[in-house]
């Protein structure tokens, strides 16, 4: 395992970073393509921000299981991005891709800390139950897939919470997991319950921020001696 501080700058953490600027610019271009109904451009651009994060993790994070699992989670997120943006109803395959992505993140977090973190479990389980309860009457044939997804993402957020105060990068992991829960809740509410203005922008902004902070959590570990 690599050790020591990286002295050449944090590509995903410092605002002056070229990588961070590219990440932000491509994210904005992706939303512009969506606004302009440039479907194929949107399909091409949407996975690029998370691809940038994946390259950053592979390049800068310490070798080890957390790095590998977070990289796998990001790669599956890229697959999910393409499936959800594709001009066909591929919501269920996209849901499965993100579900397996969250399982990878759970593995990455558990590999770093196995404390029960009961308070975090109760917090996120309560939030997940509230969101699912509000959506349940509208889900119909999607009831079971969404229920399984809620359980998995709640588990991911719980295990991220277990890192806080115990592992370098724990705060970034909690922020990323919480933003993921927020993003997916807004996505589900907009899709199954009531559409709201600027839903796509809110979902994507919180989603990209979530992936950023989860990626950042393993790069923070690489900075620590």
Sign of the alpha-carbon torsion through 153, 155, 159, 161: positive
Write down the pLDDT at residue 32: 82
Write down the pLDDT at residue 78: 96
In which band, very low, low, confident or very high, does the pLDDT at 225 lie, cut at 50, 70 and 90?
low
Write out the two tokens for 37: 């109904």
- Examine the pLDDT at 118 and tell me if it is beyond 60: yes
Integer Cα distance of 163 and 169 in angstroms: 8
Write down the pLDDT at residue 12: 52
Q: 71: alpha, beta or left, given left = phi > 0 and alpha = psi -120 to 50? A: alpha
Write down the pLDDT at residue 3: 36
Quick check: 146 and 135 in contact, CB under 8 A?
A: yes
For 88-121, give one letter per residue: b (16+ CB within 10 A) or e.
Answer: eebeebbbbbbbbbbbbbbbbbbbbbeeebeebb
Task: Give Cα separations from 74 to 46, 51, 180, 189 (angstroms).
Answer: 13, 8, 13, 24
In which band, very low, low, confident or very high, does the pLDDT at 23 lie, cut at 50, 70 and 90?
confident
End-to-end Cα, the chain, rounded Å: 12
- Examine the pLDDT at 164 and tell me if it is beyond 90: yes
Q: What is the pTM of this model?
A: 0.87
DSSP state of 162: T
In which band, very low, low, confident or very high, does the pLDDT at 19 lie, cut at 50, 70 and 90?
low
- Examine the pLDDT at 14 and tell me if it is beyond 60: no
Rounded average pLDDT over 125-138: 96
Q: Write the pLDDT tens digit of every residue in 45-100.
A: 889 899 999 999 998 898 899 999 999 999 999 999 999 888 888 899 999 999 99
Write down the pLDDT at residue 65: 95
DSSP state of 191: I
User: Burial, 198: exposed, middle or buried (Cβ in 10 Å; 0-12, 13-18, 19+)?
Assistant: exposed
Write out the two tokens for 200: 């796509």
What is 13-47 written as a DSSP string? Answer: T-TT-HHHHHHHHHHHHHHHHHHTT-HHHHHHHTT
Write out the two tokens for 56: 């950053």
């Amino acid at each position: 395992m690599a050790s020591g501080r990286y002295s050449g700058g944090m590509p995903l953490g410092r605002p002056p970073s070229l990588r961070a600027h590219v990440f932000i610019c491509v994210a904005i271009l992706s939303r512009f393509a969506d606004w302009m109904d440039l479907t194929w451009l949107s399909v091409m651009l949407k996975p690029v921000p998370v691809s940038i994060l994946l390259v950053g993790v592979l390049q800068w994070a310490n070798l080890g299981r957390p790095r590998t699992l977070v990289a796998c989670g990001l790669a599956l997120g890229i697959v999910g991005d393409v499936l959800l943006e594709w001009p066909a109803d591929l919501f269920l395959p996209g849901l499965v891709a993100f579900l397996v992505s969250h399982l990878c993140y759970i593995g990455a977090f558990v590999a770093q800390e196995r404390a029960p973190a009961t308070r975090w479990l109760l917090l996120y389980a309560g939030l997940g139950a509230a969101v699912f309860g509000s959506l349940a009457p509208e889900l119909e044939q999607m009831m079971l897939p969404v229920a399984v997804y809620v359980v998995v993402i709640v588990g991911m957020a719980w295990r991220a919470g277990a890192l806080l105060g115990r592992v370098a990068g724990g705060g970034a992991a909690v922020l990323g997991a919480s933003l993921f829960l927020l993003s997916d809740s807004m996505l589900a509410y907009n899709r199954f319950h009531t559409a709201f203005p600027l839903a796509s922008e809110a979902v994507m902004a919180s989603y990209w921020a979530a992936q950023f902070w989860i990626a950042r959590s393993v790069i923070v570990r690489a900075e620590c001696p």
